[in-house]
Every structure is written in C-alpha cells, then in structure tokens.
Amino acid sequence: MNGQSLELTAAPPARHIPGDLAMWCFILAELAVFGVFFLVYGVYRRQQPALFAEGQSHLALLLPTLNTLLLIAGSACMVAAVKRFALDRQAAARRALLLAMVFGSGFLLCKLYELAGKFMAGISLSSNDFWMFYLSLTVFHFLHVVLGMVIVAAVWWMARDGRYGPGRLDGVETAAAYWHMVDLVWLVLFALVYVAR
Amino acid sequence: MSASFTKSTARNIFYGGSVFFFLIFLGLTVDTTLAVPSHNAKAQLTDAAVRGKKIWETRNCAGCHTLLGEGAFFAPELGNVYVRRGPEFIKGWMKAMPTNVPGRRQMPQFNLNDAQLDDLVAFLKYSSQINTNNWPPNIEG
Amino acid sequence: MSNATVAALPASKATVNDQIKYRSQAVAKPYFVAAIGLFIGQILFGLIIGLQYFKGDFLFPAIPFGTARMVHTNLLIVWLLFGFMGAGYFLIPEECERELYSPKLAIITFWVFLVAGALTILGYLGLPYNVLAHLTGNDLLPTMGRGYLEQPLITKVGIVLVALSFLFNLSMTLLSGRKTSISIVMMLGLWGLAIFFLFSFVNPNNLVLDKYFWWWVVHLWVEGVWELIMGAMLAFVLVKVTGVDREIIEKWLYLIIAMTLITGIIGTGHHYFWIGTPGYWQLLGSVFSALEPVPFFMMTVFAFNMVKRRRREHPNQAATLWALGTGVMSFLGAGVWGFLGTLSVVNYYTHGTQLTAAHGHMAFYGAYAMVVLTMISYTMPLLRGREANSAAAQKLEKTAFWVMTLAIVGITLSLTAAAVTQVSLQRLSAAPLSFMETQQHIMPMYWARFGFGLCFFTGLMMYVTSFFVTGKRES
C-alpha cells in the first residue's frame, strides 16, 4: 500500500477511504500490536487452561458488558458527528462529539472502578500469567480510550470555527476511524478475556 | 482506493504516538523499579558485593565476558560462574592468569589482593542470585 | 553572524565555493574527515579482535581483547557522532536558509571533541583500565566499565559539553531560520541523543537497575532517537538527489519515525527478559519488538520509491547508491537480523551468543555507518567545490560500496553460522559443552569472519582512495 498510494492521481477514481492514510497506517500498527497480543494470549491460555479459568472466575461480567455498550454508543456518536458535519449541521455535530466523550468517560470510570478493585486485591502484573495478560491488555486498551478521547476533544475544539463541513471531513473521519479501532479492539478483548471461559 | 494523506496528520501521529508510548514506558519503568526487590528477594546486595561490582567495572570484565548475557562474547558467561565453579576456583583462576598457552585466548593478570578477590566473589555470588526467569538454559551459560 | 566569525572559517582557499549555499556549511568538512579517519581506526581494531578470536594470544599482553574491543566500539560511536555533527552543521543551515549561528564555536567544538576523543583512546591503550579509572575520578561517580559507556568520567562530561555547544549552535540557527520538518526531526533526534546520554551517569549498585537504565542509553539511542537522525539525513539527501516534492518526502519521514518510536520505545523490553526484571517484559518486549522491522521496511520502500519517482538525474550517482543501500541494509541488519533473536522464546537460547554480534555488525553498518557515508558522499563533493565527483572517482566509490557491503554480509553470515553452532552445542544439546569447548568448534567461522573483515578493510581503503581520484577526463 505504501508505494502505490502515492501514485493515486493516475488511478481511475475508485472507492474513497475515509480519513487520513497516515491514521490508517497507525491503526494498522495498533491492530498488529493487539493482534499479536491476542495471539500470545491464546497460546498461554492453551498451555495453562486451569490458571486462566480460575482467573476469569474472578471477573464480573456486568460492568464490562455495560462498557461494551458505552463504547458502541460512542462509536454511533462519531458516525452521527461525521454525518452531521457532512450536512453542515455544526452545532448538532459538535453535540455528538461531546456525547461520544461522555460515553468514553463513562467507560473510563467503570474501568477504573474495576481496575481499582483488582489493585486493592493485591493483583499486579507479576501475580501470574493470567493477571499479567488481564492487566496489560485492559490497561493498554484503557490508555487507548484516553487517547481516543484526546483526539475527539481536539476535533471538537477545532470544530468551533467551522473547520469541518461538506467536503472537509478528513479530520472528523480520521478521529472516527481511530475511535472505531479502539471499539473493535475492545470487542475482541471483551470476548477473549471476559466472555470465553 | 483514494485517501488523503497529509503531513500534518503524519506529524500529529508522530508526536502523539511517541508521547503516548513513552508515557506507557515510564509507567512500566515505575512498576519494574518497584517490583525488582521482591522479584529478586534472594539476591543479597552486600557491601562486599557493591565493592566487587566496582572491581568488575574498573577491570573492564565486560570487555570479554558476558554477565547475564550482556557484555562481550569472547569469554564465558559469569552470571552463574559462582554456581558453576565455586568461590575457591574463581579466586585460584584469577591468580593463575595468564595461562600463556600459545594460541589460546589469554586473560590478563589483574593483581587483585585477597580482600579484593573476596569482594569480586561476593559480587559474582550476588549476580548468581538474581532472578533471571531461569536463564541461562543450562549451567554452561 | 558577524564578519569576524565568518573570517574564522577555514576559508584560506579564498576562492568562493559556489556549490554550497552558505559559507558556514564548510565547518562540516573537518567533521567528515575526522569521521573517516576514526572509521579506519575502528576497522583496524576490529581486525585485531577478529584475529584474537582464533589466535587468542595475538598482541597479548600489549593489547588484550577487552581493550581492543573497547577501542573498536568506542571509535564506532565517536566516528558516527562526528558524522552526525558534520551532517548537522551542513544540513541545518541549508534547511534553515541562513548561516550557522557561530561557525567559530563549531570549529572550537571540533578540536575539543577530537582531542578529548584521542586522549581517551590513548588512555585506554596506554594505561591499565583501573588506573585510568582512578586518575579520572571514577571513585567520585562510578560510571565506567559498562559496554559502550567505558569512557572516563571526564570524557563523559566532555561529551555532554560538546553536545551542548553543538546543540546550542544548531538550535540558535534553527530558531531564527526557516523551520522545515527535516530540520525539526534532525534536531529532535540530536537533542534526544544528548538527553538519553545523561543516563550514562546513572549506575545504581543494584545490578538489575544498572542494566535496566544502561539500555536507556544504548537501546533508546540506536532503536530510538538515532533513527530520527538517520531518517532526517536520508530524507535530506533524497530531497536533493531525487528532486521529489519535499512535502511527499517529509510526510513519509514523519510516518516512518512515528512507527519507529511506537514500536521501538516499548520494544526496549526485548532487553529485559533475563536481567532480573519481572516476567511481563517477555510478553511486552516480544510483542512490540516483533513489529520493529516494520518502520525499517517502510524506509526501504520509501527510499526506492523516491528514487523511482525522481524528477532529475543528479550527477552524484554514488550518493544515490548509498541512500538506497542504507534502506536495504538497515532493513536486513536492524529489521531481519534484529527480529531473528527478538522473541523471548528464541532469545532464551540466543541471548548473549554470536547472534547478537551478527545483528550488531549489520545493523550498525546498514543503518548508521551507511547513512553517514550517504551524507558524506553527497556533501563532500559540494564542500570541495563541485556538484559531484568525476566519473572515475564515483566508479571507485561505488566499487567500495559493494566491497564493504558484501563484506559485512559475509561477516554477518559467518557470525550467524557461529551462533547456530554455539546455540546447538552449548544451549540446546542434551550434554551441553562448556563455552570454551564450544568456541573450538566455531573456529572456522571466526576465520571466515576475519577474511571478510580484511575484505571490508580493502573496501574502506578503496573508499578513502576515491577521495583522491581526480579523474581529469571529467565530462
């Protein structure tokens, strides 16, 4: 993709990729990191099924399920924001961005509550292999949600002077693409670490 | 396929990504620094071992040897030499150098006195007590 | 800049050099000359230690292996630093479109660095290391005796002062000049280099933490900030020799170095598997460093793409060859050979073997030696008053490129074969041999490595000779 994309002007007009190519490279790198993480998780879990089952039995499902819904709601808000900017409905679009951040904050609060409980119970990265994966994956993802919110906040801030509108959507689409990636990773993480027992 | 690709987005990803991952690295560094003592609960960093570490450094031992696999690859691993050979062998070996066997690799004579040799052995003992997650694979290092 | 400082330039050859845009860029020349001189020294000591691998008592006790290796690695670092500094003094004024803030300071800094470097090497060779340590204040703040950071305390302080003078000079130039992405990335890299060097003063008694923070210099240099310097230098030369639009080159530069730091910072963890650090580094180090080849691959694709899309035929074909070579060899050395031993399950068996040496040789040459040589190849003709060297000189330089590069491939393959033997006999075998017994089985590989080392030295001599080929039949 690296090389050819530069010569696009010569290519016939084809499908449009929303957002910036640089962000897609970043997203690919992030997905690769998480992908390798999940793969290694699978290998370790195969080797120590009892340990992982025992660890998972300490994980409540209610809060993570709520968190899943919150992130998906955030994603929906990002879609709405892009659509509204495309129609030049500036105020409504910015409201959608704000709402996405509210949902994101909700996710972060729930997650913090869950993680705090684990830390109080004396669980650390060095406890055992299951908790090593649990903490590194969830904290790493948590920080991605934070980063996603920073990006959305930046878009919200820059949108105040009408920078985004019909035909000028790259910035919003780029932010939305990142948010969807964070959402996608959570769905896999939720299924793999919390649900699949 | 078509997509925009702007320098400003690439630049923001560079700055944002670098700061983001460096902050994570800092967080992990804090965790590691806090976890190192309990992870290495068996390693006794005595005063003699601290003095021995200075001898290790000022004789440039890592110019030929590895210690926990780091250093130069000209001479044997010494992280576990305390276990492999024992204290008396190490001291005797240091005193007997160089062997002057023609063609063989030569180790210099460092003229350490008995107290210094004891300190060096204490350092190597400490090194052998470090929790290396079961490295090396066998006693030969 | 005042007229007095302009007069301080080494401009005794009063004829105006119209190949360089700013007179003060000429300060780069002594840096490049010193870099090549020290490079020759590095290779000579490399030959000594290469020989000592199979003829153990060679030059003993005059120059023991440990001393010669220290000279070999320290000269490597110092000549690369000279190369980076020369590149900085050439690149920053050109990008900023103004004269250097103080050419005089640059020349003073050059002599201070060269004399300090030479005295340090003489100290290594002329004094027992512990005496050198004692004389230079190591008892006050012990920092010596750790790989690559063997320099006496006063030398380390000197390096910091030299770096500050250099960075002050360039930063002042940048602040009042045009700010391009290439110059900003170069400055970020150089500042990072200086800042992470400060960790060479951190040497806790706890061996685990000592090793942990040692890598903050070594890894965060070569797999972190140095790659910014390398990327900026490569981008600069590509802009010049291909004529491709700066915007395109700069956005790829940002994307590549973004990938470098995203993978490389936590990739430091691949050094934290077996040194007494918690087990989770095996997971984190493996995951992130598995992706470290990606930016190197992007760099290769980038270099070839830019050359393919070139808008002009630059007469300096040798510089283009070096630039492409940097892309390929850094990917092979840092990317592929780095990956070979980076996963913790593999590294468990390869850690501390000749595989590290194999990777180190190709990566240092492919990434850093070659990018400095790229820069020298592009700038030296300009600094000597011509757009490019004569066809005869370029032909010799290109031959030298191939001899040196193929010699490094030979060295790397010999050491990789040595590593395979070492791992199988000493680590994997059911009845493992001792280290020294294993070494006896590796002797043929060490002979081969030395042979390729001689080839490399021949290539280097050809390279140096190419500077003296005038080629009267200039077209």
Q: Encode burial over B18-30: b for 16+ CB neighbours within 10 A, e otherwise.
A: bebbeebbeebee
C351: left (phi over 0), alpha (psi -120 to 50) or beta: beta
Task: Check if the beta carbon of residue C100 is closer than 8 Å to that of residue C169.
Answer: yes
User: For residue C169, what is the enclosing H or E element?
Assistant: helix C153-175
In terms of domains, do C32 and C145 share one?
A: yes
CA distance C97 to C104: 19
In terms of domains, do C456 and C372 share one?
A: yes
Phi, psi values for residue A59, rounded to 5°: -100, 125
Name which of B1, B10, B38 is nearest A15 (Cβ-Cβ).
Answer: B1
- Strand A16-20, strand B2-4: pairing: parallel
Q: Encode pLDDT of A75-111 as tens digits.
A: 999 999 999 999 999 999 999 999 999 999 999 999 9
B4, B8, B14, B112, best to mutate vs chain C, most C CBs in 10 Å: B14
CA distance B131 to B137: 13
CA distance A113 to A109: 6
Q: Is residue C89 part of a domain?
A: yes
Helix axes B114-129, B87-96, angle to 10 degrees: 130
Contact A136 C280 (CB under 8 A): yes
Mean pLDDT of B5-30: 95
Name which of A16, A23, A150 is nearest B9 (Cβ-Cβ).
Answer: A23
CA distance C204 to C146: 12
- One-letter amino acid at C456 equals F
Listed by start position, the domains of chain A span 61-195
Task: Check if the beta carbon of residue C321 is closer than 8 Å to that of residue C378.
Answer: no
Using the Cβ of B83 and the Cβ atoms of chain C, whether some distance falls under 8 Å is answered with: no
Quote the pLDDT of residue A13.
54
Interface of B with C in 41-80 (CB under 8 A): 43, 45, 50, 53-54, 56-64, 66-77
Per DSSP, the three-state class of C87 is helix
| Chain B residues closer than 8 Å to A9 by CB | none
Instruction: Indicate the pLDDT class of residue A17, thresholds 50, 70 and 90.
Output: confident
Instruction: Indicate the pLDDT class of residue B126, thresholds 50, 70 and 90.
Output: very high
To the nearest whole percent, how much of chain A has pLDDT over 90? 86
User: For residue B2, what is the enclosing H or E element?
Assistant: strand B2-4
- Domain termination site, one of C179, C213, C229: C179
Per DSSP, the three-state class of B3 is strand
Contact C258 B77 (CB under 8 A): no
- A161 or C276, which is more confident? C276
CA distance B95 to B116: 12
Q: Encode pLDDT of C329-383 as tens digits.
A: 999 999 999 999 999 999 999 999 999 999 999 999 999 999 999 999 999 999 9
- What Å distances lie between residue A115 and A60, A63, A64, B9, C68, CA to CA? 12, 11, 11, 33, 53
Residue with tokens 């512990």: C130
Q: Does a cis peptide bond (omega within 30 degrees of 0) precede residue B98?
A: yes
Instruction: Indicate the pLDDT class of residue C4, thresholds 50, 70 and 90.
Output: very low
Q: What's the token pair of residue B55?
A: 């001898």
Task: Check if the beta carbon of residue C338 is closer than 8 Å to that of residue C359.
Answer: yes
Residue A149 predicted with pLDDT over 60: yes
Strand partners, B66: B71, B77
Contact C129 B102 (CB under 8 A): no
Strand partners, B4: A20
In terms of domains, do C248 and C99 share one?
A: no
Q: Is residue C186 part of a domain?
A: no
CA distance A18 to B9: 14
Name which of C259, C283, C288 is nearest A132 (Cβ-Cβ).
Answer: C283
Q: What's the token pair of residue C454?
A: 């001689």
CA distance C366 to C330: 4
Phi, psi values for residue B113, rounded to 5°: -80, 175
Task: Check if the beta carbon of residue A184 is closer than 8 Å to that of residue A35.
Answer: no
Per DSSP, the three-state class of B133 is coil
Number of domains, chain C: 2
Per DSSP, the three-state class of C436 is helix
C293: closest CA of chain A, how far (Å): 12
For A10-24, A39-53, C7-21, C302-316, which range has the lowest pLDDT when averaged over its residues?
C7-21
Q: Cα Rg for chain C, rounded, in angstroms?
A: 22
Quote the pLDDT of residue C470.
82
- Domain termination site, one of C163, C179, C195: C179
Residue of B nearest to A17 (CA): B3
Quote the pLDDT of residue C32.
98
Contact B20 A8 (CB under 8 A): no
CA distance A33 to B17: 13
Mean pLDDT of C320-328: 97
Q: Encode pLDDT of C5-21 as tens digits.
A: 444 455 444 567 889 99
Task: Check if the beta carbon of residue A56 is closer than 8 Å to that of residue A130.
Answer: yes
Name which of A24, A150, A151 is nearest B3 (Cβ-Cβ).
Answer: A24
Cβ-Cβ pairs closer than 8 A, B with C, add up to: 222
| Chain B residues closer than 8 Å to C276 by CB | 36, 39-40, 43, 68, 130-132
SS3 content of chain C, % helix, strand, coil (to 5): 75, 0, 25
CA-based end-to-end distance of chain A = 38
Q: Which CATH superfamily is domain A61-195 in?
A: Cytochrome c oxidase, subunit III, four-helix bundle (1.20.120.80)
| Chain C residues closer than 8 Å to A138 by CB | none
A8: closest CA of chain B, how far (Å): 7
Q: Encode pLDDT of A55-65 as tens digits.
A: 999 999 999 99
The residues on A that touch B, with CB distances below 8 Å, are 5, 8, 11, 13-26, 124-126, 140, 143, 147, 150-151, 170, 174
In terms of domains, do C157 and C243 share one?
A: no
In terms of domains, do C174 and C278 share one?
A: no
Residue positions counted in chain C: 475
In terms of domains, do C168 and C247 share one?
A: no
* Nearest to C215, CA basis, from C231, C206, C203: C203
Mean pLDDT of A26-46: 95
In terms of domains, do C165 and C257 share one?
A: no
DSSP 8-class letter at B77: B
Q: Is residue C197 part of a domain?
A: no
* Nearest to B63, CA basis, from C423, C65, A163, C3: C65
A4, A16, A23, best to mutate vs chain B, most B CBs in 10 Å: A23
Quote the pLDDT of residue C9.
53
For A179-188, C13-22, C245-254, which range has the lowest pLDDT when averaged over its residues?
C13-22
In terms of domains, do C256 and C161 share one?
A: no
Neighbours of chain C (3+ CB pairs under 8 A): A, B
In terms of domains, do C26 and C126 share one?
A: yes
Q: Is residue C214 part of a domain?
A: no
C191-197 long-range contacts, CB within 8 A, separation 24+: C191/C167, C192/C220, C192/C224, C192/C225, C192/C228, C193/C84, C193/C163, C193/C221, C193/C225, C193/C226, C193/C229, C194/C160, C194/C163, C194/C164, C194/C167, C196/C220, C196/C221, C196/C224, C196/C225, C197/C156, C197/C159, C197/C160, C197/C163, C197/C221
This prediction has a pTM of 0.93
Instruction: Indicate the pLDDT class of residue A1, thresholds 50, 70 and 90.
Output: very low
Would you list the DSSP string of C277-290? --THHHHHHHHHHH
Q: Encode pLDDT of C327-340 as tens digits.
A: 999 999 999 999 99
In terms of domains, do C130 and C248 share one?
A: no
B2, B36, B131, best to mutate vs chain A, most A CBs in 10 Å: B2
Contact B1 A5 (CB under 8 A): yes
Q: Is residue C467 part of a domain?
A: yes
Quote the pLDDT of residue C475.
43
Quote the pLDDT of residue A12.
52
Residue A146 predicted with pLDDT over 60: yes
Q: Encode pLDDT of C419-449 as tens digits.
A: 999 999 999 999 999 999 999 999 999 999 9
| Mean per-residue pLDDT of chain C | 94
- What Å distances lie between residue B114 and A46, A65, B49, B93, CA to CA? 53, 67, 14, 13
Three-class DSSP labels, chain A:
CCCHHHHHHHCCCCCEEEEEHHHHHHHHHHHHHHHHHHHHHHHHHHHCHHHHHHHHCCCCCHHHHHHHHHHHHHHHHHHHHHHHHHCCCHHHHHHHHHHHHHHHHHHHHHHHHHHHHHHHCCCCCCCCHHHHHHHHHHHHHHHHHHHHHHHHHHHHHHHHHCCCECCECHHHHHHHHHHHHHHHHHHHHHHHHHHCC
- Domain termination site, one of C130, C148, C179: C179
The domain in which residue C365 lies consists of: 237-475
Q: What's the token pair of residue B35?
A: 């976890």
- CB atoms closer than 10 angstroms to residue B35: 17
CA distance C172 to C292: 34
The residues on A that touch C, with CB distances below 8 Å, are 2-3, 6-7, 22, 25-26, 29, 32-33, 36-37, 40, 125-126, 132-133, 136
Instruction: Indicate the pLDDT class of residue B4, thresholds 50, 70 and 90.
Output: confident
For A13-17, B99-103, C111-115, C145-149, which range has the lowest pLDDT when averaged over its residues?
A13-17
CA distance B16 to A144: 12
Q: At a CB cut-off of 8 Å and minimum separation 6, what does B89 contact?
A: none
